[in-house]
Amino acid sequence: MLREMREAVREKKGEPESEGMPKSSEVRKESSKGEREEGRTTEEGKNPLRKSSRMRRSPTRSEEENHSKEMDKEMKTMIREIREEIRVIRKELAAVSEEMGERQ
How does pLDDT run across 35-55, given as a tens digit for each residue?
555 555 545 556 666 656 566
Q: Is residue 86 part of a domain?
A: yes
Q: Is residue 78 part of a domain?
A: yes
Cβ 3 vs Cβ 19: under 8 Å? yes
Q: Is residue 104 part of a domain?
A: yes
Q: Is residue 67 part of a domain?
A: yes
Range of the domain at 78: 63-104
Q: Is residue 103 part of a domain?
A: yes
Query: Taking Cα atoms as reference points, which of 56, 50, 23 lies closest to residue 36?
Result: 50
Q: What is the pLDDT of residues 75-104, one digit of tens each?
A: 999 999 999 999 999 999 999 999 998 776
Cβ 7 vs Cβ 17: under 8 Å? yes
Q: Is residue 97 part of a domain?
A: yes
Q: How many domains, the chain? A: 1
Q: Is residue 56 part of a domain?
A: no
Q: Is residue 77 part of a domain?
A: yes
Place 23 in a pLDDT band, splitting at 50, 70 and 90: low
Q: In sequence order, what DSSP letters do the residues of the chain get, joined into one string?
A: -HHHHHHHHHHHHT----SSPPPPHHHHHHHHHHHHHHHHB-SSSB-TT---TTT--PPPHHHHHHHHHHHHHHHHHHHHHHHHHHHHHHHHHHHHHHHHHHH-
Rounded to 5°, the CA angle 46-60-78 comes to 90
